[in-house]
A = this chain, B = another copy of it.
Amino acid sequence: MSFALRPTRSLYAHLTTSNFVQCRTIKKEHTLKSGGWERVIPAFRSVCGEDGVSLGEAVREQHGRDESVHRCRPPDVVVWPRSVEEVSALAKICHHHHLPIIPFGTGTGLEGGVGALKGGVCFSLRNMDRVLDLHQEDFDVSVEPGVTRKGLNSYLRDTGLWFPVDPGADASLCGMAATSASGTNAVRYGTMRENVLNLEVVLADGSIIHTTWLYTSLVTLPGLKQKTSAGYNLTNLFVGSEGTLGVITKTTLRLYGVPEAMVSAVCTFPSVQAAVDSTVQVLQTGVPIARIEFLDDVMIDACNRFNLLSYPVAPTLFLEFHGTEKSLEEQVTVTEEITQANGGSDFSWARDAETRGRLWKARHDAWYAALALRPGCKAYSTDVCVPLSRLPQIIVETKEDLMLNRLTGPIAGHVGDGNFHCIMVMDPNDQDEVIRVHEFTERLARRALALDGTCTGEHGVGLGKRALLREEMGPLAIEVMQGLKTTLDPKNLMNPGKVL
């Protein structure tokens, strides 16, 4: 196996030191010519009120970055619409004046998707926070962009229903739709692609569409159906489009019954290979496992330190089973047989909600735990995903690559989906380290592509993976994507510079 250095292209330009510099001086040169804003700002205010528009420096900076390493690119102005009609009216103004529109949910993205590369108007959607049209008997609900994952599940608490997709962060559900997010439960419940039933979208020209139907005479009812073969699938065109095709102002989600029983467990392994082989075998046996998360020794050590835990420092699986009491027994028995055959430890159980909560909090804090390994450093998360059978090989090779290149990159992965993250912790002022991280992430992505994988399983393309997307899809498919973008957004106003 060789890790020959390939010519460094502009793929990882986002990782150059300049990206780590927080913006201190605000962009002076606005998209509008001098005086233009004087006409536009009052128009915005007439739509969403005095309080609904801000030019403040701190506010703009806050809306110019997500949780990633990508540097802050503040918009020229932030607006807070309160309804789809206001989003539409604002979009029409932007369309008329050729102003970029950047949708903003909770800013918890990891690929720089909210940066205002060309200036423009940030649409902060947090004031649209209604849960609408809960249909318990049909297992669906609609939410506005201000509703987060945890918010929805609190709302559902007494209904016996829940929404399982869980990327860790308490993200906006519409934002999760825009990024095609997934997380720890995807192995059982699917990603946003499988769980978004309908979207309301404001297009670049301000027009409002529903991606499945909305019967004109029943405006209060969302257009929802169990299945359809009616025309082109617009829903899945907008899921994962990262704000580049329109602003998602409402999403209808599939809900699930809260399982009768849930139990979590932790199991440690003598090697990475043993842990990953166990995962593959559990899934191939058809166990409908709800969560199966891999943490390597470095990651578990970081989690122990950050959350004051004492798991053995070894390759580890965090598992969770959902079902009836009876089916849980069966699932656990089969899984234990497999892990033990691979040299895994006895399961350490987390049965009650509180203990389970502590366990999963540790997993979801992985990002912060990794950062805490080297105070003052920044983190960048890789996000490759490969077919299940290729997973042992790529994880083993990646661990070797990290060691060879003296990099801190604890691994946490949704291994049930073939998706794993190296959380690259680096000193932004150490130019040599930054370059080694570049080269590592590029090698990792190409290693995934060579194994029939993808450069991004769930974080999206955003800023950071545009060149890799091109490499992954080939020029013709990219041309098709560009054609779709141009059709829906001919002026290139919707979150310009992202994805393509």
**A contacts, CB < 8 Å to B:** 135, 137-140, 179-182, 186, 191, 193-194, 203, 207-218, 221-234, 236-237, 239-241, 245, 257, 280, 284, 286, 324, 326-327, 330, 385-389, 417-419, 449-450, 452-461, 465, 469, 472-474, 476-478, 480-481, 483-488, 499-500
Contacts and interface: CB of A to CB of B under 8 A. Distances in A.
A238 to B, nearest CB: 9
Given A193-B233, A213-B474, 7 more contacts: A186-B227, A191-B227, A225-B418, A228-B457, A233-B233, A233-B236, A236-B237
B476 A207 contact: yes
A226 B327 contact: no
B452 A224 contact: yes
30 contacts: A137-B284, A139-B284, A140-B387, A180-B228, A180-B229, A193-B227, A193-B236, A203-B480, A209-B480, A211-B477, A212-B473, A213-B473, A218-B452, A226-B386, A226-B388, A227-B419, A227-B458, A228-B457, A229-B456, A229-B458, A229-B461, A230-B455, A231-B240, A231-B461, A233-B240, A236-B236, A237-B237, A237-B484, A326-B326, A483-B487
Nearest to A138: B387
A251 to B, nearest CB: 15
Contacts of A137: 280, 284, 388-389
Chain B CB count within 10 A is highest, among A456, A473, A476, for A473
B225 A469 contact: no
A174 to B, nearest CB: 15
A225 B452 contact: yes
Main secondary structure of the interface of A (DSSP, over half): loop
A134 to B, nearest CB: 12
Contacts of A230: 454-456, 461, 465, 469, 472-473
Identical subunits present: 2
A229 B459 CA distance: 7
A488 B477 CA distance: 11
Contacts of A284: 137, 139, 257
A229 B181 CA distance: 8
B419 A226 contact: yes
A245 B460 CA distance: 26
A484 B232 contact: yes
A227 B226 CA distance: 22
A282 B459 CA distance: 36
Contact of A476 (B208, B228, B452, B454): B208
B388 A477 contact: no
Contacts of A454: 212-213, 225, 228, 230
B179 A209 contact: no
A352 B344 CA distance: 39
A261 to B, nearest CB: 12
A177 to B, nearest CB: 11
Contacts of A213: 449, 454, 472-474, 477
